[in-house]
Amino acid sequence: MTLVAQETDTVAALEPRFARRENNVIERYEGTCIDVSILLYRNEQERRDRLTFTAGPRVRMKQDVEELLFRAYSLSRQVHLTFESGRDRSLCLQMVYGVIAGIFKELDRAEAMRVAGEERSECTQLKYLEQACARTESYFRRAAQRRAQMRYLGGMTSGLTIIAGMGALLSIGLASLPDLQEQAPMFLASLIAGGMGAVLSVLYGMTSGNLKLHTLFASAESGFGPMVAAGALRPLLGGLSGIVAYVLLQAGIVPIDQPDGAAGTNFVIALAIVAGFSERWARGILAGTEERLQGQGPAAPPVK
């Protein structure tokens, strides 16, 4: 298999053009026996690092080597699309540069041995380069998770704002229901407690390292908007779960004894926090309620 050049220019031909564009070369490698080159540079106008490489059409390599090169190139494009700038982008591109430059150096060395008439062993360090590429991919995933979690946390702030708006609308709606006017403060308390429980759950996950967002939100497939929207939905879901738990408790559907007085108020708030904190627990309450309601359905008419 033959890898066609991404760009036809070599590093030597590209550098004057980069100098005119106020670009600074960080690292570079250009083959001596084969037409390959790679350049890691910083674009001062964009204020971010970039990576470019070329491999001439006459450069031939084994399939496993070309697959590793394509894997590293694909990772460099993901880095470019995922990280606009910053330390994570720079480190990832430097690690990708190390993998591609290592491949080119091995190919160049093998070609020099062939020209000298020595025994040729193409890319003897392939396993090491594959491990280096795997480490780069692992770092990229961790960095993408960190980026997604910060945007997710920012979205949760928007979710809390939505909860405040929902609380105002809920107060207006409960005012039109005379039987529930006295329970309006508990509805609002359950809404807020559920939202805070959801925030607490996310913060615990972030500090313990157990929060893992879906790949869709952590990779280049997702932009700023979807991650913020997903974060906003988390406290909103927690607030609604808190209200559902309170309603089921007050309706007597959930078989839990509620204390009287201040203890009862604290009990309801604690229940709403738990409902917002644990989605699994809230789903378990709803599933159990569904089963109990189905069990209390109308009895079948007697057979005559």
Alpha-carbon span 195 to 63, nearest angstrom: 53
The pLDDT, as a whole number, for residue 233 is 85
Q: Which residues pair with 53 in a beta bridge?
A: 38
Alpha-carbon span 4 to 59, nearest angstrom: 8
The pLDDT, as a whole number, for residue 58 is 82
In this predicted structure, the answer to whether residue 78 has a pLDDT above a threshold of 80 is yes
Alpha helices, DSSP H, located in the chain: 11-20, 63-82, 87-115, 126-175, 184-208, 215-218, 224-251, 261-277, 279-295
How far is the CA of 66 from the CAs of 6, 60, 70, 115, in angstroms?
Answer: 13, 9, 6, 22
Alpha-carbon span 75 to 136, nearest angstrom: 9
Residue 20 has, within 13 A of its CA and on its CB side, a CA count of: 4
- Decide the pairing of beta strands 23-30 and 48-55: unpaired
Q: What is the mean pLDDT of residues 64-82?
A: 90
Task: Quick: pLDDT tens for 182-224.
Answer: 777 788 888 888 889 988 888 888 777 777 776 555 555 556 6
- Residue 119 is classified by DSSP as P
Task: Quick: pLDDT tens for 150-178.
Answer: 888 888 888 888 888 887 787 777 767 77
Give the rounded percent of residues in the chain with a pLDDT score beyond 70: 79
Q: What is the mean pLDDT of residues 71-96?
A: 90
Task: Quick: pLDDT tens for 110-136.
Answer: 888 877 776 655 556 788 999 999 999
Task: Quick: pLDDT tens for 242-285.
Answer: 888 888 888 777 677 777 778 888 888 898 899 888 877 877 77
* Cα dihedral 68→69→74→80 (10° resolution): 130
How far is the CA of 180 from the CAs of 160, 169, 175, 202, 224, in angstroms?
Answer: 24, 15, 8, 32, 41
- Residue whose C-alpha is closest to residue 37's, from 29, 26, 49: 29
Alpha-carbon span 180 to 174, nearest angstrom: 6
Q: Considering the entire predicted model, what is its pTM?
A: 0.69
